Amino acid sequence: MEFQDKMGRWFTEGMFVEVSRTDKIDAPYCLNPRNETKDMPSLKRLYLECADPTEYLFATTHLGGWKHWQKLLRCNWFKPYIKEWREELEIKLRAEGIREQRRLANKGSSNAARWLAEKGWEEKKRGRPSKAEVAGERKREAEIEKELEEHFDRVFN
């Protein structure tokens, strides 16, 4: 499928039946899986099936390549869609990882069992703050202290 016009410009809105300003019959994709037909696959479904967090394989398989994908990502109208897709893909990959750890634990893997027992899928709290973070916080506190002193002097003097 060709994803460029005669002047070599990448198609963006015209690729999707939901947002196309031209003939919607020519749109090769839809954005929502509920709008999917035999001739018009859902790009969201293909994105999730590809399960590629780098998005490179997805772009080269289902679009005109990486440059086409980058052009699409810069479109303001597309940003809410890709934000939702990325969140769902992350959850999907985490769920698959947990399922695999459960499978390994059932086969006797003590590491997988420990990971499950310790809720390894949850994000861990950070350790000690960096020196730069500590210095920044001290600076903010000093500015607040100075501002409070100025207000105090103005009110009571």
Q: List per-residue pLDDT tens for the chain, 157 residues long.
A: 678 888 888 888 888 878 777 765 577 888 888 887 878 899 999 999 999 999 999 999 999 999 999 999 999 999 999 999 999 999 999 999 999 999 998 988 888 888 888 888 887 777 888 899 899 999 999 888 888 888 888 888 7
**Would you state the pLDDT for residue 1?**
65
**Would you state the pLDDT for residue 43?**
93
Phi, psi of 28 (to 5 degrees): -80, -20
